[in-house]
Amino acid sequence: MLIGIFLTIQLIMKLKNIFLLHDRRINSLSVSAVTTIGEYLEWFDAYGEDNKLAEQRPQLKTRSANMIRRRLVEDLKQGAIIPPIVIGLSTDADLNNVKDDNVQTLIDQSLAEGSVIDGMQRSGALREALAQNQNIRNNPIRVDLWLANGTVPLIYRMLVLNTGQSPWDIKRQMEVIYKPLITEARHRIEGIVLNEKDDQKRRRDGGEYPANSIIELLIAYSSRKEIVKPNDSVADEFTKLDITDMTGKREFADNFYRCLSMMVSFDKAVSRYQHDNNDADGHLKFRNGMDLFTQMPAKTGFIAALAQRIVGMPGMQERTPEEQESIISRIEDSFSEFIRKINDMDNEELGAFLCFDVLNETVNSLPIKRIGDAQREFFRKGFSALLEYNFAVDSLQMVWRAY
């Protein structure tokens, strides 16, 4: 199967006039090259268009935008050249050893998961122009492929490139490289199950989540905040600064995935608990153990609490990489003992430990106005208290009372 995919991709986009530049800031590789409109669109139709969410920036519908688009299509039909389309690729290869004579092979192996970082609108215009004039199929087009070890450097590069351009909110920018991020999370985190929209699957066990929730958790960790307001332009700009700064650091990806792995372990451990079905409390929000991390408030609260503990509070000087490593290692040690204790409990003991009666009572007392934000803050404060005690608690009652 892999051989078949390799040959197909190799035929789709054969590159010429290759020029390499090494981005030493984030250890990534910029590959400028020329392909043909036909070969690019074959790749785009097969992979590039699918490797994004439907929420990616829509085509503008204003009269002036339509006029400009029609002019671009007409120019392309007459042989015009457009700025390079930027494609992001994640690879495990040693980028220091990539040369002109082996870069094509490396790109071939990564293109199926590639995402268009900049150029979706131009890609649509290219498709329209080719449909109207097949004679431009072999016309040249420039592409700029960014190869990085993991998805996080691509996020950093995309945020920097988009600064000062069209006002996308942070979540939408993250969604541009949604597929590679999900692939990397599945690879890095043992036991995680990520269901995409088309899967139409409901959460059935601990460690199972909607795939796009990873985007929000990455924002929560990098901004060190449980509440992200993408519709607030001021808050969005500060969040962008936080994320750009964080994703540009080499330790960021490892620490984020280590925190996500702890959340998965916590979720799996408590999801063993089954409420007594003979009880008539079917209205309870938190009934079975799996209910705790089903919704976003607990997930973002847990990740934001860890980020604040490891990196520092938002707006404060970040801790050094050495300090962060020391803190997260200590957290993992105490967390491992915490999970071992939970896993040794039987169902009745686990129910007493979780104290869902207190959790339900407290959550029900939260203000109705902006209830989602209140729940996120509630869980972040609770999990921060759990971290303060190094997970050495007899029950989670103090966690639910910390708000």
Instruction: Give the DSSP letter string of 221-235.
Output: HHHT-S---TT-HHH
Any residues with CB less than 8 A from the CB of 234 and at least 6 apart, and which? none
CB of 402 closer than 8 Å to CB of 385: yes
Q: Is residue 171 part of a domain?
A: no
Report pLDDT for 143: 94
Please list the rounded mean pLDDT of every run of 10 residues in the chain (403 residues): 38 81 83 93 84 48 69 90 90 84 85 83 90 94 89 72 51 59 86 79 90 87 79 47 61 91 98 78 83 96 97 88 96 98 97 96 90 94 97 96 92
One domain for residues 138 and 269? no
One domain for residues 195 and 142? no
Q: Which tokens belong to 201?
A: 């699957």
Give the domain extent around 21. Answer: 2-150
Among candidates 280, 266, 243, which has minimal Cα distance to 158? 243
One domain for residues 20 and 110? yes
* Distance (Å, whole) CA 340 – CA 330: 16
One domain for residues 40 and 125? yes
Residue that terminates a domain, selected from 150, 176, 199: 150
* Distance (Å, whole) CA 36 – CA 140: 4
Q: Which tokens belong to 245?
A: 């700064």
Q: Looking at residue 88, what DSSP letter applies?
A: E
One domain for residues 137 and 275? no
Report the greatest alpha carbon distance in the chain: 74
Residue in the structure block whose two tokens are 């990806």: 253
One domain for residues 307 and 206? yes
Q: Looking at residue 139, what DSSP letter applies?
A: -
Q: Is residue 378 part of a domain?
A: yes
Q: Is residue 162 part of a domain?
A: no
One domain for residues 283 and 142? no
One domain for residues 357 and 218? yes
Number of domains in the chain: 2
Residue that terminates a domain, selected from 101, 125, 150: 150
Q: Is residue 372 part of a domain?
A: yes
One domain for residues 100 and 240? no
Report pLDDT for 257: 93
Q: Which tokens belong to 308?
A: 């604040």
One domain for residues 74 and 205? no
Q: Is residue 289 part of a domain?
A: yes
One domain for residues 120 and 226? no
Question: Which residues on adjacent β-strands are paired with residue 34?
Answer: 16, 142
* Distance (Å, whole) CA 345 – CA 270: 10
Residue that terminates a domain, selected from 150, 180, 201: 150
Residue in the structure block whose two tokens are 């991709």: 9
Q: Is residue 59 part of a domain?
A: yes
Q: Is residue 158 part of a domain?
A: no
CB of 209 closer than 8 Å to CB of 270: no
One domain for residues 219 and 317? yes
Q: Which tokens belong to 136?
A: 């431009």
Q: Which stretches within 44-151 are classed as H helix?
A: 63-77, 103-110, 120-132
Q: Is residue 161 part of a domain?
A: no
Q: Which tokens belong to 188?
A: 């890095």
* Distance (Å, whole) CA 186 – CA 43: 24
